[in-house]
A and B are shown apart, each in its own frame.
Chain A
């Protein structure tokens, strides 16, 4: 029957088949027997068709996958097993793509025979974009070292000219498959997810967004460690304002296609500028899949438009609901393709396995639902602002604490419901109105909706302030500006701004930048003329530009080089400029006329660096050909050519006396000292295989600084080679180093978009200059040391005011005996510890020391200024308190009466009385002038940790280890109220400026807000991960600052108890926080011995800038 099928015969067969398929399986035989009658062939034909099996079904349901790519693969030279790439012997091919392949290899000279994955890219001439991407991935990976990220081990170029990277070979299963295979319960899944969060967060800290988070890119090893791979489309965070790329639909789509759309965020789908929030979303999808075994969307097909619609519009079901619905279903096949080579994968199973999902709805309902949905918010601003917040919330859930996601998503959903269903809401209200006949109810409803809208705005504001802090941390000034400017209140809107806004505004506006010199292209090199009047820049367009250093006016643009300029230097007399170029030459220019004077020809590869000898007669150059050469400036004759390294020479410089020359290169040893006359190698500086990008002699010639690609710089003694200091703090490679002319400062320009100023002698980090929107490639000081020029790949050179950049913002090295400080009422004087027993007064504006109280007493515990600032009261360990004259340093009075350590001291607002809190469980009030004990307040059942007068001086509040705060009548000692609600000892308290509310900080890691009149708890400030040890209200009463044992200072919206920003500035517990009386400075002191001044702009400053 096969083979000779006619349309007519087939119609017969087909009709019977159709009818039979409609019937239950067990009735089909009988039906056919009856219908076919004697035509046994017909019956046989239909029966054989009905016998079709499931495996074939599989064939049709799996669309042709790999073939699509395979069709277009071009023939590539194979890297055969057994052959070698560098020191690696190839074992086999792991996978390939159109432009490259991945090999499994082993390092032959490695005794451990560790296996590695080598990723190669074909160097086709058509693929510059591709090569750029590859280089970038290599660079990105080189910067990442994390237990949950597959490590980059090596890189290079094969003999055939294929660039390659060597990666840690991860043998494992994709995350979701691993969970399925091991039938992991929730408790096994969440820790793996937290691993992934840690890796992503680490990448974010390094300014890298992964952009392609999906199970296939996360392998779990046999030992159960999750490893993140494939940074192929990761990117460095880009400033949001860089010509906010207007992407075409096409580019958007190709962008989307490059990642796996199911895991892409809505903004990614729309082709918008991405932030770390996009990775948060992808993590949300991943979490959803881990919890439910399904994607958050129910997709009918994998058609892109449908996925886009689902991602951008469909509200995901809560995971707990999804699990219920899915429980009875067949487990879906793995959703996504896997990276080649990184996994051994079995052929797809042909029959689906019926596995009940091991996570139960009950485990998900509530917290995990909320957490997942919060990460999956369509609007980036409504998600967790950082991966850390997401992982912290999961930790909170695991610890049984309240999660942050609860409030945020609930309020939002209510708001959205009202927004979407306004008509319904209105109708409902009208019905209510007629039914109840009461207008009051409607009014209340309307007010409620209004209040919700208001709450929503506050939530959004807090989110954006949080992001602004993040933007600043990542030196993303464009985004910072947008977030700050975007939150000026519109006409008629309530002004939600507080301290944080003015603080962030000032960060943006007072960053020390004086001038910006715009270029059409990347700036690779900058130099200051010796007289400080001009600066020169070398750019990627091969042009040398001259600028007026005072006004920023462009003076000249000189052409001559045929490739980009890598290096620029002024001659010591300022009349000549030397340039080094990728066109393999160096050139000499006349500054006055702009004429090209000499071309130095001889290098066989790009000239990366140039330096004049101090007498201006010789020029040194370094090249990618591995040599440095010395030239006669006058004649252009080559005097010396020395092979310094097998790799590139990145940097060359003369010692100030001209007798020595230092070079920095790309391979070990990477820093060498030479005799500048004979070319003899004198010293090798560094034993580490680091790449040196830049070198600089100190002005006295005694030390030599080198900037490395691995994010640090070092200072060596020239005579001995001894390491003097290490400069650590940049988040990206250091491209350029420069000494200030007085030798006190070292400036480093980094790929992390910042310049840092360091105390050269000690390595102390003095200031960070932020403003560049891209990597900084070159830095140079002016001769007066007051100005610095930087050039970067953000197409700008910038001039910075060094004194402004060095603005006093922190006191360091105070020791860690006590974390306490006190700010005088006028905000001008700061009292900090001198030693364990002495107190030191300092000028709060400059940090300058004013006076040290020479005390001979026991350890002190607490400090407070009198309201007129003339007196300072000190609480002591020996159960006494003392009053000192802040002007003369004389001790005026001692207050004796407590029987245990005094923990806190404070003045009454009128300055006449003094209150002390003691470990003897009492509070005492004293007459300040005479030292007479007036009252003792008894009631606490444990030690009293803090005490405060109400602003009117009539009441007194105390915070105790007995978990409560107590309110007292300051005149009679009568107890008025007990504020009970904390679950751990109270550590601090403060009255709001209006005296109506009171805030308390506790060892339960929260602060609480209380109504003074009623003793009612108004709300809880949740977010600290350590004891809340101190707190202070801003003078406007809108903000509360809290300091905690985890080293964070957090700022809260008092009205909503919502956290607004977190300030990271201490490595140890924060012991005191205080606002200056004008509300412009927040001071925090920590057990790390640091006092920080967080300065905000004044409204006048902001207004003045607005008028400009």
Chain B
């Protein structure tokens, strides 16, 4: 549970990061990671199998639990999402990797019907390919890579990405479009 101390510290860390303190981000990362992990477990444990949790919902609740005040400073929220996007990327990619291994290693076929339906079978592969491509993109265009991470894994809106990266929304939009073009070619999607 997020207690008062941690909720204050998360707010402070977010503010510090917004003010330019890069170290604050590194401190936030494990906090957010733990909370997201806890949250996801809690949510998944609910007797509510009909619902599939979307990244945005999950992160939203994690934010509310850690920071506790919805809507007070939306910039803080955007920054929180930025941290979360990185966490989500790790969690998702790790998982996809594990599942790929499980498949090829002859492990139990654990795909249930709805998974097959909801997630195209090659979605795991696509996710891994994206992760790899994003890493490569970061080598020569860090900003685009970050935009994709924030948009895709963090569920941030264009405006929120603009706030976090300190650039114009229109720039985010255009960069996002071009990043996608490069990534999809690299991932050989749709071929």
Contacts and interface: CB of A to CB of B under 8 A. Distances in A.
Nearest to B37: A72
A574 interface: no
22 contacts: A5-B136, A17-B181, A21-B174, A49-B181, A50-B181, A56-B183, A63-B55, A66-B115, A67-B123, A70-B95, A95-B114, A119-B49, A133-B46, A233-B48, A249-B68, A257-B57, A301-B56, A303-B56, A304-B61, A305-B70, A340-B114, A341-B113
Contacts of A341: 49, 112-114
Nearest to B153: A64
A977 interface: no
Contacts of A492: none
Interface stretch (A97-105, A283-291, A1090-1098): A97-105
Given A99-B45, A257-B57, A21 B177 contact: yes
A345 interface: yes
Interface residues of B, number: 71
A133 B48 CA distance: 10
Interface string B84-126: 0000100110111001000000001010111111111001001
Nearest first, the 7 A-B pairs at minimum CB distance are A98-B44, A339-B50, A56-B184, A97-B49, A55-B190, A56-B189, A337-B52
A232 B48 contact: yes
Given A67-B127, A69-B52, A130-B46, 13 more contacts: A14-B178, A21-B174, A53-B190, A54-B190, A56-B190, A64-B153, A66-B114, A68-B54, A68-B88, A95-B112, A340-B49, A345-B118, A346-B117
B163 to A, nearest CB: 13
Nearest to A130: B47
Given A56-B189, A345-B117, A18 B56 contact: no
A10 B117 CA distance: 38
B11 to A, nearest CB: 14
Nearest to B188: A56
Given A2-B186, A254-B61, A99 B53 contact: no
Interface string A322-339: 000000000000000111
A301 B157 contact: yes
Q: Which of A5, A69, A92 has the most CB of B within 10 A?
A: A69
A431 interface: no
A127 B45 contact: yes
Interface in B19-60: 37, 40-41, 43-58, 60
B153 A78 contact: no
Nearest to B109: A78
A1 to B, nearest CB: 11
Interface string A266-307: 000000000000000000000000000000000011111100
B4 interface: no
Contacts of A97: 44, 46-49
A68 B58 contact: yes
Contacts, number: 231
A71 B136 CA distance: 25
B181 A98 contact: no
A238 interface: no
A181 to B, nearest CB: 16
A134 B45 CA distance: 12
Contact of B182 (A49, A300, A304): A49
Tell me the dominant secondary structure on chain A's binding face: mixed
A69 B44 contact: yes
A217 interface: yes
A671 interface: no
Interface string A1046-1080: 00000000000000000000000000000000000
B71 interface: yes
B152 A60 contact: yes
B41 A67 contact: no
Contact of B57 (A49, A300, A304): A304
A65 interface: yes
Interface in A1-41: 2, 5-7, 9-10, 14, 17-18, 21
B64 interface: yes
A124 to B, nearest CB: 8
A6 B178 contact: no
Interface of A: 2, 5-7, 9-10, 14, 17-18, 21, 48-57, 59-60, 63-73, 78, 92-102, 119, 121, 124, 126-127, 130, 133-134, 137, 212, 216-217, 229-230, 232-233, 249-250, 253-254, 257-258, 260, 300-305, 337-341, 344-348
A69 B183 CA distance: 25
B187 interface: yes
Contacts of A65: 52-55, 118-119
A70 B96 CA distance: 9
Contacts of A100: 47, 49
B64 A253 contact: yes
A26 to B, nearest CB: 18
Contacts of B117: 345-347
Contacts of A338: 50, 114
Given A64-B92, A130-B47, A93 B113 contact: yes
Contacts of B120: 347-348
A700 to B, nearest CB: 49
A260 B136 CA distance: 37
Contact of B92 (A49, A71, A250): A71
Tell me the dominant secondary structure on chain B's binding face: helix
Contact of A305 (B41, B51, B60): B60
Contacts of A303: 56, 60, 155, 157
B40 A71 contact: yes
A284 to B, nearest CB: 21
Contacts of A59: 126, 184, 189
Contact of A249 (B64, B95, B115): B64
Contacts of A233: 48
B103 to A, nearest CB: 13
Contact of A52 (B54, B157, B180): B180
A92 B44 contact: no
A216 B50 contact: yes
A758 B117 CA distance: 55
A191 B151 CA distance: 41
Q: Which of A21, A92, A124, A337 has the most CB of B within 10 A?
A: A337
A18 B173 CA distance: 12
A68 B69 CA distance: 24
A60 B44 contact: no
B54 A340 contact: no
Given A17-B181, A341-B113, A66 B152 contact: no
Given A5-B140, A57-B180, A71-B91, A66 B56 contact: no
A68 B55 contact: yes
Given A17-B178, A99-B45, A133-B47, A49 B185 contact: yes
A720 B71 CA distance: 72
A955 B70 CA distance: 69
Contacts of B151: 60
Given A93-B112, A258-B48, A305-B60, A300 B157 contact: yes
A98 B41 contact: yes
A52 B184 contact: yes
A99 B47 contact: yes
A68 B92 contact: yes
Contacts of A52: 180-181, 184-185
B91 to A, nearest CB: 5
Nearest to B182: A49
Nearest to A347: B120
A136 B40 CA distance: 23
Contacts of B152: 60, 63-64
Nearest to A342: B50
A56 B130 CA distance: 11
B141 interface: yes
Q: Which of A59, A92, A101, A254 has the most CB of B within 10 A?
A: A59
B28 to A, nearest CB: 20
Q: Which of A137, A257, A345 has the most CB of B within 10 A?
A: A257
A80 to B, nearest CB: 10
Contacts of A212: 50
